[in-house]
Chains A and B, each alone.
Chain A
Amino acid sequence: MQLTLWTYEGPPHVGAMRVATSMREVHYVLHAPQGDTYADLLFTMIERQDRRPPVTYTTFQARDLGGSTAEMVKDAVAEAWERHRPQAMLVGESCTAELLQDQAGTLGQTLGLPIPVVPLELPAYSKKECWGAAETFYQLTRAVLADRVPPPGTVRPTRGEGVRPRANLLGATALGFRCRDDVVEITRLLADLGVDVNVVAPLGASPEDLRRIPEADFNVDLYPEVSRTLCGWLQRAFGMPATRTIPMGVNGTRAFVAEVATLAGLSAESFLERERPGEAGLDASRSRLAWYSRSVDSTYLTGKRVFIFADATHAVAAARIAASEMGFTVVGLGTFSREFAREVREAAREHGVEPLITDDYLQVERAIAEAAPELVLGTQMERHIAKRLGIACAVISSPIHVQDVPARYSPVYGFEGANVLFDSWVHPLVMGLEEHLLQMFREDFEFNDRAPASHLPVPARAPQPADEALAPPGAPEPAAAPTAAPAWSSDGELELRKIPFFVRGKARRNTERFAQERGIATITVETLYEAKAHFGR
Chain B
Amino acid sequence: MTDLSALPPPASGTCTERPRSPVAVLRERGQREVFCGLTGIVWLHRRMQDAFFLVVGSRTCAHLIQSAAGVMIFAEPRFGTAILGDRDLAGLADANDELDRICVELLERRPDIATLFLVGSCPSEVIKLDLAKAAERLNARLMPSVRVLNYSGSGIETTFTQGEDAALRSMVPVLPSDDDRRLLVVGSVADVVEDQMRRVFDGLGIGPVAFLPGRRAADLPAVGAGTRVLAAQPFNGETVRALLARGARMLEAPYPLGAEGTTAWYAAAAREWDIPEATFEAVTRPLAERARRALERYRPRLDGRSLFLMPDSQLEIPIARVLAREMGMRLLEVGTPYLDRQMVAAELDLLPGAPVLSEGQHLERQLDRLRAARPDITVCGLGLANPLEAEGHATKWSIELVFTPIHGYDQAGDLAELFVRPLERRARLAV
Contact = CB atoms under 8 A, between A and B. Distances in A.
Interface in A297-335: none
B9 A63 contact: yes
A94 interface: yes
Interface stretch (B79-87, B178-186, B238-246, B322-330): B79-87
A63 B7 contact: yes
Interface in A36-77: 36-42, 44-45, 48-52, 56-63, 65-66, 76
Residue in A125, A495, A537 whose Cβ sees the most chain B Cβ within 10 Å: A125
Given A3-B106, A61-B156, A52 B58 contact: no
Nearest to B193: A498
Nearest to A99: B126
A5 interface: yes
A401 interface: yes
Contact of A44 (B5, B290, B383): B383
A126 B80 contact: no
A202 interface: no
Contact of A537 (B62, B82, B414): B414
Interface stretch (A112-120, A245-253, A525-533): A525-533
A41 B382 contact: yes
B64 A96 contact: no
A125 B76 CA distance: 26
B85 A65 contact: no
Contacts, number: 220
Interface residues of A, number: 69
Contacts of B4: 62, 65
Interface stretch (B14-22, B29-37, B164-172): B29-37
Contact of A62 (B62, B83, B157, B414): B157
Given A10-B63, A530-B290, A125 B58 contact: yes
A166 interface: no
A82 to B, nearest CB: 10
Interface residues of B, number: 79
A131 B60 CA distance: 15
Given A7-B59, A10-B63, A498-B195, A61 B155 contact: yes
Contacts of A532: 294, 410, 413
Nearest to B295: A533
B290 A529 contact: yes
Contacts of A14: 60, 63
A328 B34 CA distance: 47
A499 B411 CA distance: 12
Contacts of A124: 58-60
A14 B386 CA distance: 19
Contacts of A529: 290, 410
B156 A62 contact: yes
B106 A125 contact: no
A341 B98 CA distance: 27
B425 to A, nearest CB: 14
Interface in A150-206: none
Contacts of B126: 65, 96, 99-100
B413 A33 contact: no
Interface string B57-69: 0111011101110
B38 interface: yes
A534 B384 CA distance: 34
A3 B122 contact: no
Given A1-B99, A33-B156, A128-B59, A41 B66 contact: no
B319 to A, nearest CB: 18
A1 B84 contact: yes
Given A3-B106, A95-B59, A40 B384 contact: yes
A230 B62 CA distance: 29
A34 interface: yes
Contact of B387 (A9, A44, A61, A534): A44
Interface in B97-145: 98-99, 102, 105-106, 122-123, 125-127
Given A65-B156, A95-B59, A534-B293, A52 B387 contact: yes
Contacts of A530: 290
A33 B122 contact: yes
Nearest to A67: B5
A37 B33 contact: yes
B299 to A, nearest CB: 12
Interface in B394-431: 410, 413-414, 417
Given A35-B38, A62-B7, A65-B156, A10 B410 contact: no
B88 interface: yes
B318 to A, nearest CB: 21
Interface in B189-217: 191-192, 195, 199
B387 to A, nearest CB: 5
23 contacts: A3-B83, A3-B102, A7-B59, A7-B63, A7-B81, A10-B60, A11-B63, A34-B155, A35-B34, A36-B64, A37-B32, A37-B34, A37-B383, A38-B36, A39-B67, A61-B156, A63-B5, A79-B364, A95-B123, A384-B71, A532-B410, A533-B413, A534-B293
Interface of B: 4-5, 7-9, 30-39, 58-60, 62-64, 66-68, 70-71, 74, 76-77, 79-86, 88-89, 95, 98-99, 102, 105-106, 122-123, 125-127, 154-157, 159, 191-192, 195, 199, 290-291, 293-294, 297-298, 364, 381-387, 389-390, 410, 413-414, 417
List 3 tightest A-B contacts by C-beta distance, closest first: A35-B36, A35-B155, A40-B383
